[in-house]
């Protein structure tokens, strides 16, 4: 059977012809993906198997390559947020904010404190939803569907908050250069308060369900472990690196959007295995909740939600119709006649999966000359074949979901 799947010149095809395992049985080839239901996205791995054990793997990616970087070169700066949304769609607000901050760094715009705090709140909400998906799906893959059904209703609550802020649920396209497009409604804050009250109870229950669960521990401890050195060599960042024991977090190393004002811990694991990744993400959810509470407490008075930068910030629609000056600004922004400095900018933010970097090269025109996204998923997924070597097939699935590889971010 295996010969049918692979061209005869493939190296695995040769191996299974020539090699036998220790017991003298034949090796086999298994094609996992690209539409395997358990892989949550489209990843293809050709596995060389000895019974249930994986000897070697060869990943193929690019099944949803959408050419973000090429599109970005053909779009004005403010039209690139929709692309960032669709990169890591589990935590799109972080990507949106990262992109606006890149532009603000380029243009030298200072965002008011209140807008920065609002951004922190929405970014931490995004981090919560991202980790929530990853951990609950990890539960599904180890056989616990309940956790997923239970906590997913809170994801809906977060979506409702997003809807109050920007009108969209998943691909938020939130914010503008210098802040937000509108102030948050009182309803948004009310829903946030309810979320902060109800979610910790459910999350605690979710944690209790898993963290001391015999089956879950058996399935995850010492599965897919990666050492700190290896993780660094493979360019891991974010929760997956922290699970291996290195406390690198962009929010601390290079604070943006006033993260330095908040007091939070960077949880780290020890062995870098699946269980540690799960626990690090769980702990990060608690830290995120604490950051949101601090931001709400420290929120400056007033209703400032964007910087006063008429050159880049679209004026309100009624002013455009009734006010000459606003009309001119509107026209200039939309037609791309606002001068942009020629520069090279790299701006990192701590995304749900690690350091999302925006490397922007401008040439003074209305579109980027080159925009490169540092996509954490793309970078650490290359360690996957090594992590699953020697593991069982069912472990490979668990490792993949604990790495939280998002296909949209992987393939760009």
* Footprint on this chain of other proteins (rule: CB under 8 A): 34-35, 37, 40-42, 61-67, 69-71, 73-74, 82-83, 85-86, 89-90, 105, 133, 148-150, 152-153, 155-156, 159, 169-171, 230, 232-235, 246, 248, 253-254, 343-346, 348, 355, 357, 359, 361, 369-370, 372, 374, 378-379, 381-383, 407-408, 411-412
Nearer to other proteins, 295 or 406 (CB): 406
Closest CA to 47 of 378, 392, 382, 383: 392
Taking the CA atoms of residue 64, residue 69, residue 70 and residue 72 in that order, the dihedral angle to the nearest 10 degrees is 120
CA distances for 200 relative to 36, 121, 267, angstroms: 33, 16, 18
Q: Which is nearer to other proteins, 122 or 320 (CB)?
A: 122
Q: Is the dihedral of CA 145, 151, 152, 153 positive or negative?
A: positive
What residues contact residue 274 under an 8 Å CB cut-off, 6+ apart? 138, 219, 220, 221, 223, 224, 398, 399, 402
Nearest distance from C-beta of residue 25 to other proteins, angstroms: 28
| Cα-Cα-Cα-Cα dihedral sign, residues 126, 380, 239, 111 | negative
User: 32 has which bridge partners?
Assistant: 45
358 strand-pairing partners: 347, 373
Give me the least distance between CB of 171 and other proteins, in Å please: 6
In the complex with other proteins, the residue whose CB is nearer, 47 or 360, is 360
At 82, is the secondary structure helix, strand, or coil? helix
Least distance CB 152 / other proteins (angstroms): 4
Buried/exposed code over 234-265 (b: 16+ C-beta within 10 A; e: otherwise): bbbbbbbbbbbbbebbbbeeeebbbbeebebe
Q: Which DSSP symbol is given to 23?
A: T
In this complex, which beta carbon is closest to other proteins, that of residue 345 or of residue 391?
345
Q: How far is the CB of 23 from other proteins (least distance, A)?
A: 31
Residue 118 CB neighbours (<10 A): 26
User: Which C-beta is closer to other proteins: that of 26 or that of 344?
Assistant: 344
| Shortest distance in whole angstroms from residue 305 CB to other proteins | 25
For residue 350, the cross-strand partners are 355
Euclidean distance between CA atoms 348 and 359, whole angstroms: 9
Output the smallest distance, CB 48 to other proteins, in A. Answer: 16
The least CB distance from residue 358 to other proteins, in Å, is 10
In the complex, the smallest distance separating the C-beta of residue 189 from other proteins, rounded to whole angstroms, is: 22
Of 206 and 275, the one with the shorter C-beta distance to other proteins is 206
Task: Tell me the DSSP string of 332-362.
Answer: HHHHT-S-----EEEEEEE-SSSEEEEEEE-
Question: Smaller CB distance to other proteins: residue 179 or 348?
Answer: 348
Residue 100 CB, shortest distance to other proteins, in Å, is 16
Sheet containing strand 370-374, edge to edge, reads 344-350, 355-361, 370-374
Min dist CB 223 to other proteins, Å, is 21
If the CB atoms of residues 154 and 216 are measured against other proteins, the closer one turns out to be 154
Helix (H) or strand (E) holding 151: helix 145-166
For residues 187 and 325, give the distance between their C-alpha atoms in angstroms, rounded to a whole number. Answer: 32
> 150 or 286: whose CB is closer to other proteins?
150
Q: Closer to other proteins by CB, 47 or 133: give it.
A: 133
């Amino acid at each position: 059977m295996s010969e049918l799947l692979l061209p005869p010149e493939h190296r695995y095809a040769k191996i299974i012809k020539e090699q036998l395992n220790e017991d003298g049985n034949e090796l086999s080839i298994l094609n996992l993906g690209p539409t395997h239901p358990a892989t949550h996205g489209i990843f293809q791995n050709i596995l060389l198997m000895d019974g249930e054990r994986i000897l070697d793997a060869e990943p193929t990616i690019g099944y949803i390559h959408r050419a973000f970087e090429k599109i970005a070169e053909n779009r004005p700066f403010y039209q690139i947020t929709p692309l960032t949304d669709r990169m890591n769609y589990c935590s799109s607000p972080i990507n949106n904010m990262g992109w606006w901050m890149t532009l603000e760094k380029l243009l030298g715009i200072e965002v008011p404190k209140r807008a920065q705090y609002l951004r922190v709140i929405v970014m931490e909400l995004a981090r919560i939803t991202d980790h929530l998906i990853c951990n609950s799906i990890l539960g599904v893959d180890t056989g616990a569907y309940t956790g997923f059904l239970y906590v997913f209703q809170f994801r809906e609550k977060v979506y409702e908050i997003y809807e109050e802020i920007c009108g969209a649920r998943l691909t938020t396209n939130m914010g503008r250069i210098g802040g937000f497009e509108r102030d948050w409604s009182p309803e948004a804050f009310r829903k946030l308060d309810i979320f902060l009250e109800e979610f910790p109870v459910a999350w605690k229950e979710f944690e209790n369900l898993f963290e001391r669960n015999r089956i879950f521990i058996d399935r995850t401890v010492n599965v897919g472990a990666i050492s700190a050195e290896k993780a660094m060599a493979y360019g891991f960042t974010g929760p997956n690196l922290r699970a291996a024991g290195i406390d690198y977090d962009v929010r601390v190393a290079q604070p943006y959007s006033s993260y330095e004002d908040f007091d939070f811990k960077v949880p780290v694991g020890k062995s870098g295995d699946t269980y540690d990744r799960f626990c690090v993400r769980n702990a990060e959810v608690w830290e995120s909740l604490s950051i949101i509470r601090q931001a709400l407490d420290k929120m400056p008075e007033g209703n400032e939600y964007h910087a006063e930068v008429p050159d880049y910030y679209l004026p309100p629609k009624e002013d455009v119709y009734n006010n000459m000056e606003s009309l001119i600004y509107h026209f200039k922004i939309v037609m791309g006649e606002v001068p942009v400095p020629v520069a090279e900018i790299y701006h990192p933010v701590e995304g749900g999966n690690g350091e999302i970097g925006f490397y922007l090269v401008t040439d003074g025109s209305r579109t980027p000359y080159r925009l490169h996204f540092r996509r954490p998923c793309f970078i650490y997924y290359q360690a996957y074949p090594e992590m699953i070597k020697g593991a069982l097939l069912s472990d490979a699935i668990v490792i993949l979901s604990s790495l939280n590889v998002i296909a949209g971010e992987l393939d760009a």
